[in-house]
Amino acid sequence: MTALVRYSRDGEIAEICLDNPPVNALGVDLRAGILDALEKFTADDGARMAVLYAAGRTFVAGADIREFGKPPKEPFLPDLVNALEALEKPILCVLHGTALGGGLELALGAHYRLGLPGVKVGLPETGLGILPGAGGTQRLPRLAGMEPALDIMTSARQVGAQEALSLGLLDALAEDGSTPLEAGRAMAMRLIAEGAGPRRISDLPAPAITPDKLNEIRAQIRKRFPGQIAQLTAIDAAVEGAALPFHEGMKHERKLFQALMDSPQRAALIHAFFAERKVAQLPELKGITPRSFEKIGVIGGGRMGGGIAVSALLAGLDVTLIERDPGAAEAAREGVAATLAESVKRGKLSDERRAEILAQKFRSATDYAVLAESDVVIEAVFEDMGIKREVFEALDRNCKPGAVLATNTSYLDIPQIAAITTRPADVIGLHFFSPAHVMRLLEIVVPEGAAPEVVATGFALGKRLRKVSVRAGVCDGFIGNRILQVYRAAADHIVLAGASPYEVDRAVVGFGFPMGPYAVQDLAGLDIGFMTRQRKAPNRDPREFVPLWGDVMHARGWHGRKTGQGYYSYGPEHPRGAPSPEVEAIIAAERAERGIQPRSFTPDEIVSRYMAAMVNESARVVGEGIAARPLDVDVTLLHGYGFPRWRGGPMHWADTQGLSEILRQIESFQREDAYFWQPAPLLQELAANGRDFSSLNKG
Ligand code: 3HC
Ligand code: NAI
């Protein structure tokens, strides 16, 4: 037997312990070890019942995802689960932490299931582009009913202990305080005393579902996961399998599982899974201990500061918020209280906890002296260097040595902000996304000279706030906004050449983004775009095309959703906006003025330009070291900009298209605008050497 599985017996109870840190993933060695232990149990005449449990922080988190895409090795997981279920003597599984995917499927093969308090179970495979492939699509419907099973599989959600109990996924919940083994032994002794024998889910009848209900569910899934195939295929596996004898259903599941395993969506989603874990693994942080933090200061309680404060409070941190005058301090306090109340409504927080946070963990003030004990201070005042200067001078005077001083600036020069203080090595950018308590992306912007432990503290704080933190170098817009500006500019080029903003939005949504660039600008406010254009005007290269229609719209007071008119017109009849003929007329006038004869674009033509611009600028960002690796760009776009996860991010997507093909397209667009479509040197280099972006992610 491998060391990953321990078999022992205490009295009449066999104890099978899985020990494969960190999450007991079911790699080939663990599978072989379990099979071996099952054989020992069968042969062990003294054992009347087995308790299977796991060591460490969690039960089994699923199949070993690192094996995906490689030739499968025996014993295969479905066969292992079948062998477990076929045991002649009863076996009990004890679940703690999270029992996910293959982990839950293994437990569904057992004859009894006990949960420790707080356990969560689920079948998250569809979120990885596959379906439960070890009997989950066959056993879960038999146990929980078809509709709950389809919901669990397609939502990929984690089901809490009480719900798992009520759906019958668990037979019992243990008392607080016992270990998996203690709880399992106690239940096994009870079962032995009752003379309980094996109980197999595969013996249960398969549930049916009406065609109408099924159509309704399929329609909902298509709407919720546009473009994705795993959720619908999981439904097919469950529903079609239920019409077959159990073992035939298992074979059908396997066939559909394999087809998904070979799909590009699976490759993209697994790339996303590992990339978002790898972003925090940076060679520069190896062995660096972050500074400890508990007390957070936030300067500015507007849109961003308020969200940052809430995010920190929800993570259990102590927060002091500074505003410019008592009225603003009180308004900020009320804003934070209101957002916390919303969290209570959404079930994220209990009302008692909210009251406790407001009474003990949060205060707003105007005097910087109260920040003397703060470990990390995050500035989120107006985007104005003069005001930031005053704030950082005050922080420098009032904060203790060793406090990390961070700015949430979107575009201002962070080294210049650091230089305001007498401790530039303690200054970094922590660039949150709006709304800061909801959006998971955090860009950690590292100016030259920042102390490594300050950067490590940024990552530790990001982890505590449950953010996905990405390291970014200093440049205008860091990673995300810099790339955004370029693909938005590409959209403007397409519109100037003849497409309408609505055609562009539709094509981009068709690709998989939740919204197109013009609908997003309406949401953010067209005044922001106007201010950005103003800010960049002094240093703009005369060859750069900047549309004038945005300024015309701005001058008319059309600032997007908040004013009822932007690229779209908003009103009671069109809460999500209707295309505006007036906007089209403004754009047509500009084309005419520039002597441009409008041409038509297919959705594919729009997407190829939009994506080529995104990939090209992404390559520049990596080539210049602003992003550490292509995967950092992918995670930024996935978590901050709505890039469809099932396409993996722009760099992963570019690899699937072939970098030579993207380069060829860029070179062809160059004939129309040689300045805008300059190929990134990194893209040229990789294409010339037959390499891809993923080759830069290794190590
Ligand atoms: N396979 C391989 N490695 C895994 C893994 C898995 N299933 N699950 C987690 N890991 C690795 C992570 O990559 C990470 O490695 P690193 O330290 O080298 O970066 C380490 O385990 C710890 O993971 P997290 O940082 O995510 O730890 P958390 O405590 O935050 O979360 C978790 C734990 C909730 C279990 C989370 O890891 C998770 O959601 N894992 C994936 C669960 C999943 O999708 N399971 C289904 C797998 S597919 C399947 O089972 C197919 C079957 O139907 C045939
Ligand atoms: P905001 O205008 O909503 O809030 C700014 C707050 O700062 C106001 O409440 C104001 O009273 C306060 N303030 C101004 N001067 C102050 C001072 N001297 N001391 C204390 N408080 C002061 O602005 P918003 O949107 O929250 O932006 C803040 C910062 O975050 C800016 O640097 C912005 O570029 C950046 N940012 C904004 C994002 C967004 O989507 N709005 C996204 C990411 C970063």
Q: Tell me the pairing of strands 568-571 and 574-579.
A: antiparallel
In eight-state DSSP terms, residue 674 is T
Task: Tell me if 201 sits within 8 A of 143, measured CB to CB.
Answer: yes
pTM of the model: 0.95
| Secondary structure of 303-328 in HEC code, one letter for each residue | HHHHHHHHHHHHCCCEEEEECCCHHH
Average pLDDT over residues 138-149: 98
Residues 264-267: contacts with CB under 8 Å, at least 24 apart: 264/656, 265/129, 265/228, 265/229, 265/230, 265/646, 266/68, 266/69, 266/128, 266/129, 266/130, 266/230, 267/69, 267/129, 267/648, 267/652, 267/656
Residue 664 has pLDDT above 90, yes or no: yes
Cross-strand bridge partners of residue 18: 5, 54
From 4, 28, 60, 65, give the residue whose CB has the most ligand 1 atoms within 8 Å, as the site to mutate. 65
The neighbour count for residue 117, using CB atoms within 10 Å, is 14
Cα distance between residue 179 and residue 159, in whole Å: 21
Residue 505 identity (one-letter amino acid): D
| Per-residue pLDDT tens digits for 263-302 | 999 999 999 999 999 999 999 999 999 999 999 999 999 9
Cross-strand bridge partners of residue 589: none
Task: Tell me if 269 sits within 8 A of 127, measured CB to CB.
Answer: yes
User: Any residues with CB less than 8 A from the CB of 101 and at least 6 apart, and which?
Assistant: 61, 62, 63, 122, 123, 124, 125, 132, 136
Helix, strand, coil percent content, the chain, rounded in steps of 5:
55, 15, 35
| Per-residue pLDDT tens digits for 538-550 | 999 999 989 999 9
Residue nearest ligand 1's atom 31 by CA: 23
Residue nearest ligand 2's atom 17 by CA: 324
Counting residues of the chain whose pLDDT is more than 90, the rounded percentage is 96
Pocket of ligand 1 (CB under 6 A): 22-23, 25, 58, 61-66, 77, 98, 100-102, 105, 124-125, 128, 132-134, 136, 277
Residue nearest ligand 1's atom 36 by CA: 61
Give residue for tokens 């990789």: 686
Residue 157 has pLDDT above 90, yes or no: yes
Average pLDDT over residues 373-386: 96
Structure tokens at 31: 């599978």
Q: Which ligand is nearest to the CA of 63?
A: 1
In eight-state DSSP terms, residue 169 is S
Query: How high does pLDDT run on average in the chain?
Result: 96
Angle at 185 between CA 182 and CA 187, to 5 degrees: 110
Give the nearest ligand 1 atom to 131 CA: 53
Residue nearest ligand 2's atom 12 by CA: 300
From 366, 371, 381, 479, give the residue whose CB has the most ligand 2 atoms within 8 Å, as the site to mutate. 381
pLDDT at residue 529, as a whole number: 87
Measured in angstroms, how far is the CA atom of residue 498 from the centroid of ligand 1?
Answer: 47
User: Any residues with CB less than 8 A from the CB of 644 and at least 6 apart, and which?
Assistant: 227, 511, 512, 513
What is 293-472's CATH superfamily? NAD(P)-binding Rossmann-like Domain (3.40.50.720)
The neighbour count for residue 301, using CB atoms within 10 Å, is 27
Task: Tell me if 324 sits within 8 A of 366, measured CB to CB.
Answer: yes
Residue 211 has pLDDT above 60, yes or no: yes
Counting residues of the chain whose pLDDT is more than 70, the rounded percentage is 100
Longest dimension (CA), the chain: 92
Average pLDDT over residues 196-206: 97
Cα distance between residue 116 and residue 119, in whole Å: 6
Ordered by start, the domain boundaries in the chain are: 5-261, 293-472, 480-696
Structure tokens at 396: 């420098």
pLDDT at residue 399, as a whole number: 98
Q: Which ligand is nearest to the CA of 58?
A: 1
Residue 637's SS3 state is helix
Task: Tell me if 3 sits within 8 A of 43, measured CB to CB.
Answer: no
Half-sphere exposure of 683 (CA within 13 A, CB side): 28
Residue nearest ligand 2's atom 31 by CA: 383
Pocket of ligand 2 (CB under 6 A): 299-305, 322-324, 328, 380-383, 387, 390-391, 408-410, 431-434
CATH level 2 (architecture), domain 5-261: Alpha-Beta Complex (3.90)
Residue 616 has pLDDT above 90, yes or no: yes
User: Any residues with CB less than 8 A from the CB of 539 and at least 6 apart, and which?
Assistant: none
Per-residue confidence at 535, pLDDT binned at 50, 70, 90?
Answer: confident
Domain 480-696 class, CATH top level: mainly alpha
Q: Which ligand is nearest to the CA of 303?
A: 2
What is the chain's length? 699
Cross-strand bridge partners of residue 5: 18
From 387, 410, 527, give the residue whose CB has the most ligand 2 atoms within 8 Å, as the site to mutate. 410
Average pLDDT over residues 130-147: 98
Residue nearest ligand 1's atom 39 by CA: 61
Cα distance between residue 627 and residue 620, in whole Å: 9
Cα distance between residue 504 and residue 518, in whole Å: 8
Task: Tell me if 286 sits within 8 A of 453, measured CB to CB.
Answer: no
pLDDT at residue 528, as a whole number: 86
Structure tokens at 539: 């240093």
Residue 277's SS3 state is helix
| Per-residue pLDDT tens digits for 493-523 | 999 999 999 999 999 999 999 999 999 999 9
| Per-residue pLDDT tens digits for 42-91 | 999 999 999 999 999 999 999 999 999 889 999 999 999 999 999 999 99
Measured in angstroms, how far is the CA atom of residue 99 from the centroid of ligand 1?
Answer: 11
The neighbour count for residue 70, using CB atoms within 10 Å, is 7
Residue 2 has pLDDT above 80, yes or no: no
Measured in angstroms, how far is the CA atom of residue 61 from the centroid of ligand 1?
Answer: 6
Residue 678 identity (one-letter amino acid): Q
| Sign of CA pseudo-dihedral 221, 222, 227, 228 | positive
pLDDT at residue 217, as a whole number: 98
Element containing residue 7 per DSSP (H, E): strand 5-10
> Which of 473-477, 672-676, 695-699 shows the lowest per-residue confidence on average (mean pLDDT)?
695-699
Measured in angstroms, how far is the CA atom of residue 436 from the centroid of ligand 2?
Answer: 12
More confident residue, 531 or 16: 16
Structure tokens at 8: 């022992």
pLDDT at residue 286, as a whole number: 94
Per-residue confidence at 1, pLDDT binned at 50, 70, 90?
Answer: very low
Task: Tell me if 662 sits within 8 A of 614, measured CB to CB.
Answer: no
| Per-residue pLDDT tens digits for 217-247 | 999 999 999 999 999 999 999 999 999 999 9
Cα distance between residue 107 and residue 97, in whole Å: 14
User: Any residues with CB less than 8 A from the CB of 632 and at least 6 apart, and which?
Assistant: 275, 279, 470, 471, 472, 479, 622
Per-residue confidence at 678, pLDDT binned at 50, 70, 90?
Answer: very high
Residue 593 identity (one-letter amino acid): E
Cα distance between residue 510 and residue 487, in whole Å: 16
pLDDT at residue 69, as a whole number: 83
